[in-house]
Amino acid sequence: MVNTQKVTDDIIWIGGSERRLSRFENLFPLPNGVSYNSYVVLDEKTALLDTADLSVAGQFMENLEAALQGRDLDYMVIHHMEPDHCSLIADVMKRYPQATLVGNVRTFAFLLQFFPELESAAKLEIKEGDVLSTGKHNFHFVFAPFVHWPEVMVSYDDATKTLFSADAFGTFGSVDGSIFADEHDFEREYLDDARRYYANIVGKYGPQTLAILQKASGLDIQMICPLHGPVWRKDLGWFIDKYQKWGSGTPESDDILLFYASIYGHTASAAQTLAASLQAKSGKKVVVYDVSETDVSFLIGEIWRCGKIVLMCPTYNAGIYPKMKDLIADMEALAVHDRTFALAENGTWGPVTVKLMRDRLSALKNCTILEQTLTIRSALHEKDREALENFAQAIAEA
Ligand code: FEO
């Protein structure tokens, strides 16, 4: 059944939400689902702004036909060619073959890699700053390379002062009920997922994110329509401030993260003892995660939230425990920066993880790794109390 929502009188949301997909990009768990946003503009000319993922194809095509109210489609605007938004372009063009595809030179290169059958379709190539007029609406295009792919562009409609922001300002999580963020408790329902989405999807591209925020800062933006998650029409500054922090590596919280790996529970037990000591000494909340239990994407989201991170890791196969190694590899891949790390290790014979973790983390930009470390031999005992307290004190003071 048709499920569309009016964003303005003549801009209609025609996306879809779903919860059956267990992982985004076949990688990131989606416990709260995800939405794919797409918008129809009913002006003198009609425009479709992006399509959606194959998983919501039925709903999307039904919504599109209903939103167009019997009119033809004039423009198929492509802000981003990742398949979660472009999967249905060929289907749309089969149904509306007279439509003109709107994209930039890289958009069209990627388009033909996915859909060579669209070679002969009409195309309008956009250059930075170009304007597409549909009548009342004028869409000003601003290139946003690597937020999240190189071809990404956003557009600003000067009639409604709306930024169509592609992946930027998106979030994991289905949109249930209203499409508008101000009709949800965003901080409670979405913020953690929005941060996890940002950190894992575009976190590596902080400078590019800041660049697009800078470009957008000269615009009078009254509404943000992202490709995932709710539409923003109130309190935009609150969410833009989050993006400023995430893009610049500024922690949102002074909570201390304690990530441990534990094979038989001894490092886990030591981690809990350290957490209690650390919270008492620092007066800060200590948030503890078992890296084997919590998917790495959530840990990465937390690293974007907090500035101080303790890693406690047993030695395994003469190296770093695999799940901790995965976390460090993700930190490297996503270019974590401006953080403080404290390192602890456990080993029955030959503990080596403090050194190995330090070697890896040293390559991260603007990060501090505390000199003070903690080594546990098999299990923590009362004789280790002083070393543990000293370690906690050093972290608290860092
Ligand atoms: Fe939501 Fe980069 O695609």
CA torsion, points 187, 188, 192, 194, in degrees to nearest 10? -50
148 lines ligand 1 (CB under 6 A): yes
Q: Are 232 and 239 in contact (CB under 8 A)?
A: yes
50 lines ligand 1 (CB under 6 A): no
**Which residues does residue 154 pair with via DSSP β-bridges, in sequence order?**
142
33 residue type, one letter: G
Distance (angstroms) between ligand 1 centre and the Cα of 396 equals 39
Q: Are 341 and 303 in contact (CB under 8 A)?
A: no
The residue whose C-alpha atom lies closest to atom 3 belonging to ligand 1 is 82
Q: Which atom of ligand 1 lies nearest, measured to the CA of 202? A: 2
144 lines ligand 1 (CB under 6 A): no
The DSSP output letter for 38 is -
157 lines ligand 1 (CB under 6 A): no
The residue whose C-alpha atom lies closest to atom 1 belonging to ligand 1 is 167
Within 8 A by CB and 6+ apart from 69, the residues are 42
82 lines ligand 1 (CB under 6 A): yes
How does pLDDT run along the chain (398 residues), one tens digit per residue? 999 999 999 999 999 999 998 999 999 999 999 999 999 999 999 999 999 999 999 999 999 999 999 999 999 999 999 999 999 999 999 999 999 999 999 999 999 999 999 999 999 999 999 999 999 999 999 999 999 999 999 999 999 999 999 999 999 999 999 999 999 999 999 999 999 999 999 999 988 988 988 888 889 999 999 999 999 999 999 999 999 999 999 999 999 999 999 999 999 999 999 999 999 999 999 999 999 999 999 999 999 999 999 999 999 999 999 999 999 999 999 999 999 999 999 999 999 999 999 999 999 999 999 999 999 999 999 999 999 999 999 999 99
Q: Which atom of ligand 1 lies nearest, measured to the CA of 148? A: 2
Distance (angstroms) between ligand 1 centre and the Cα of 6 equals 23
Q: Which residue, 292, 335, 309, is CA-closest to 199?
A: 335
Distance (angstroms) between ligand 1 centre and the Cα of 82 equals 5
The pLDDT score that the predictor gives to residue 94 is 98
85 lines ligand 1 (CB under 6 A): yes
302 lines ligand 1 (CB under 6 A): no
Q: Are 249 and 367 in contact (CB under 8 A)?
A: no
Rounded distance between C-alpha atoms, residue 24 and residue 272, angstroms? 32
